Amino acid sequence: MPNTLVNLNDVEKVFHRGSEDIHVLHRLDLSIAEGEFLALMGPSGSGKSTLLNLLAGLDRPTSGTIEVAGQRIDSMSRAQLAHWRSRHVGFVFQFYNLLPVLSAERNVELPLLLTNLSSAERKKHVATALEIVGLSHRAKHTPQTLSGGEQQRVGIARAIVTDPTLILADEPTGDLDRKSGDAILNLLQSLNREQGKTIVMVTHDPHAADRASRRMHMVDGQVSSEMAA
């Protein structure tokens, strides 16, 4: 039986807007196994993106605990979280978030600049990540010369270049046509199945969610249903 990688216990998240309290997550309990591919679904405002930000250590719960790989990230300082995130989290964004003035290889290298790796070691990691996503031949190209699907593959290479514990993907196919989206989903599935990467993906697309090993539907900050693939 796989080990539990992520454990959320009794997590609440409340945002304050003037005198109004907005309860986004309500006493949420969630466990994610090592090597799992989890798809988070639900309507806008259901708490999916908030949950992703909590898992990334970009935000803190109002109450409750969040443990990732045996570490309580909810009690870390900002500096500790930044260091933890650079080692353990890889992001894949809907709109790629690539720097237009940098080549694909330089975009992929960015997370490694927060590490103690030498320039030669960084180049080796970047080459490996680009090879995994099938873009070694486009390493010198800037984002505007790449298709949307290629830009997203660069984004995935950037997410995996540090060999993270957790890959968090926010609508990774939301800006792509079906063919390009399927290629990205194939790549995420390959990372999960062949390299054992743990992936949490937010999506509105049932077609994308079908690629995950587990689907979780959220409504009003709570889990409304779960389904294994």
- Average pLDDT estimate for 171-182: 91
Chain center to CA of 192: 12
Residue 184 lies in a domain: yes
Give ∠ CA 92-15-74 in degrees, rounded to 5: 60
Give the range of the structural domain holding residue 207, as residue numbers without chain letter: 35-57+77-228
Residue 189 lies in a domain: yes
Per the structure, the count of domains in the chain is 1
Global confidence as pTM: 0.91
Residue % of the chain over a pLDDT of 90: 78
120-130 pLDDT, tens per residue? 999 999 999 99
DSSP string, 61-95: -SEEEEEETTEEGGG--HHHHHHHHHHHEEEE-TT
DSSP-derived secondary structure letter, 3: P
Q: Which residues pair with 91 in a beta bridge?
A: 168
Give ∠ CA 72-74-80 in degrees, rounded to 5: 80
Distance CA 68, CA 4 (A): 9
Residue 60 zone, left/alpha/beta (φ > 0; ψ -120 to 50; rest): beta
Distance CA 5, CA 36 (A): 9
Q: Where are the beta strands (DSSP E) in the chain?
A: 4-17, 20-33, 37-41, 63-68, 71-72, 89-92, 166-170, 198-202, 214-219, 222-228
Residue 144 lies in a domain: yes
Give ∠ CA 90-205-37 in degrees, rounded to 5: 40
34-92 pLDDT, tens per residue? 999 999 998 888 889 999 999 999 999 999 999 999 999 999 999 999 889 988 999 99
Residue 210 lies in a domain: yes
Residue 108 lies in a domain: yes
State the CATH number of the domain containing residue 131: 3.40.50.300
Task: Name, in order, each residue with C-beta under 8 angstroms of 87's C-beta and a sequence gap of 6 or more.
Answer: 115, 162, 164, 165
Residue 131 lies in a domain: yes
Residue 8 lies in a domain: no
Residue 67 lies in a domain: no
Task: Indicate if the pLDDT at residue 205 is higher than 80.
Answer: yes
- HSE-CB for 115 with a 13 A CA cutoff: 20
